[in-house]
């Protein structure tokens, strides 16, 4: 016979997982024109296309502010640091967790997250899980362009389920995620072998 606590835990886990699974299994992600937001956040990586698109959206009046996950604006505490502090995020989940800490403190209710097209579905799943129940609507977008194909698209499909599982662990057992937090390695361009970024 199962206890109420076990059923409650299973129900809680399901409520955390379902939004991410919905993103994984439904239609296109990151397409279309986003609506107004309190802030546009661009994720690390992407060779500059993410930052450029975030700035273009802000210029069009989508949001009054732009944030980068590479910078932690809260690093100075109550006083402003002389220089911005790097956030030291190591992967997309770290980026979502950083924004989940920063955005509520800034009074943000809606956020547009900018990533690359090949990365949009996985980022949307991770952000859906991390932001569930936090009172902030997040919408993941990517610069216009063709649908992703090739090695990057294939790599993202393989990372999707483990990333969503890690997001669930980070929500349900943050201290466990802190211990198990993956240490990324370099990501290389398959054609040239050049360093693209660390993820």
Provide the residue-wise pLDDT of the chain in tens; the chain has 199 residues.
444 454 444 445 555 555 545 544 444 455 566 889 999 999 998 889 999 999 999 999 999 999 999 988 777 666 665 667 788 788 899 999 999 999 998 999 999 999 998 889 899 999 999 999 999 999 999 998 887 777 767 788 888 888 888 899 888 888 888 777 765 544 445 555 554 554 4
- What is the model's pTM? 0.76
Beta strands 39-42; 85-86: pairing state = unpaired
Residues 6 or more apart in contact with residue 192 via CB below 8 angstroms? none
What whole-number distance in Å separates Cα of residue 167 and Cα of residue 169? 5
State residue 59's pLDDT score. Answer: 95
Q: CA 16 → CA 5, 9, 13, 35, 168, distances in Å?
A: 17, 11, 5, 25, 7
Q: What does the block give as tokens for 148?
A: 């992703």
Q: What is the distance between the alpha carbons of residues 87 and 33, in angstroms, rounded to a whole number?
A: 28
C-alpha count within 13 angstroms, C-beta hemisphere, residue 121: 21
| pLDDT given at position 16 | 52
pLDDT of residue 32: 63
Domain boundaries, the chain: 15-181
């Amino acid at each position: 016979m199962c206890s109420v606590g076990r059923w409650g835990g299973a129900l809680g886990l399901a409520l955390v997982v379902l939004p991410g699974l919905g993103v994984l299994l439904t239609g296109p992600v990151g397409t279309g024109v986003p609506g107004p937001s309190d802030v546009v956040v661009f994720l690390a990586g992407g060779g500059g296309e993410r930052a450029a698109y975030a700035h273009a959206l802000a210029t069009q009046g989508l949001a009054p502010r732009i944030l980068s996950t590479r910078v932690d604006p809260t690093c100075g505490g109550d006083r402003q640091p002389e220089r911005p502090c790097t956030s030291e995020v190591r992967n997309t989940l770290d980026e979502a967790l950083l924004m989940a800490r920063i955005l509520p403190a800034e009074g943000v209710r809606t956020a547009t997250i900018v990533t690359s097209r090949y990365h949009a579905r996985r980022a949307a799943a991770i952000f859906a899980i991390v932001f569930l129940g936090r009172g902030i609507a997040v919408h993941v977008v990517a610069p216009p362009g063709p649908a992703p194909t090739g090695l990057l698209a294939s790599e993202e499909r393989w990372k999707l389920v483990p990333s969503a599982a890690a997001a669930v662990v980070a929500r349900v057992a943050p201290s466990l995620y802190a211990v198990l937090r993956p240490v990324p390695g370099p990501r290389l361009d398959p054609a040239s072998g050049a360093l693209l970024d660390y993820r």
